[in-house]
A and B are shown apart, each in its own frame.
Chain A
Amino acid sequence: KNQVEQSPQSLIILEGKNCTLQCNYTVSPFSNLRWYKQDTGRGPVSLTIMTFSENTKSNGRYTATLDADTKQSSLHITASQLSDSASYICVVSANNAGNMLTFGGGTRLMVKP
């Protein structure tokens, strides 16, 4: 069964600090992995997308890593801002008919001043 597990479930950090969110997956055959940011009451917005051959991808203060061998990914947020408070969702796409997505449970990040 395809699964995506994220940790921690929630995280509180002080403004300006860095943090790293984790994602482990068992989706097969693997196509790509995306990190989304979802503000409360809004739809998910894509931050990064990584394919099998990519190890690192950055988008501003967000840096995602992918280890396809261990089936792990991380999202590192540098110099956090209050606006980073949101849920971060790891989504893995299977390389099969329909390219169905498997969603992680998300990490709720709160950045405090």
Chain B
Amino acid sequence: GAVVSQHPSWVICKSGTSVKIECRSLDFQATTMFWYRQFPKQSLMLMATSNEGSKATYEQGVEKDKFLINHASLTLSTLTVTSAHPEDSSFYICSARGPFGDTQYFGPGTRLTVL
């Protein structure tokens, strides 16, 4: 089956620094990638949708200047949390969808802790 990886799996950073999270589709070309955020005991919340080679579409309430998304290739999307603050601490999950069908394959997630 399709495999999606994320790196790093967990990261701890100081307040004010920027953190980059990578999402890769390992065995298929992902024309669309999605970024989700999940707070403890809550379900996934879609942050943004990115299509390869174009700007990401952000959900309402998500600051595009704070959460920079780059989908430069068909196998890689990155999420950069700029000037991170403790309230940005969360579990970030990406998913990838190929050019056919609507199946999203989820990555294992990245735990971000901002001190």
Of A37-45, A66-74, A75-83, the one contacting chain B is: A37-45
Question: Is A99 located at the chain interface by the 8 A CB criterion?
Answer: yes
B6: chain A residues at CB < 8 Å are 43
Contact call B91/A89, Cβ cutoff below 8 A: no
User: A83-113 CB contact bits vs B (8 Å, 1 = yes)?
Assistant: 0000001000100001111011110100000
Q: Which of B34-50 contact A (CB under 8 A)?
A: 41-46, 49
Contact call B102/A42, Cβ cutoff below 8 A: no
Contact call A43/B49, Cβ cutoff below 8 A: no
Complex CA gap A105/B49 in Å reads: 21
Q: Which of B72-98 contact A (CB under 8 A)?
A: 91, 93, 95, 97
What band does the interface of chain A fall in when counting residues whose beta carbon is under 8 Å from B?
20 to 34
Complex CA gap A104/B43 in Å reads: 7
Contact call A106/B43, Cβ cutoff below 8 A: yes
B107: chain A residues at CB < 8 Å are 43
Tell me the A residues contacting B by CB distance below 8 Å: 31-32, 36, 41-46, 49, 89, 93, 98-101, 103-106, 108
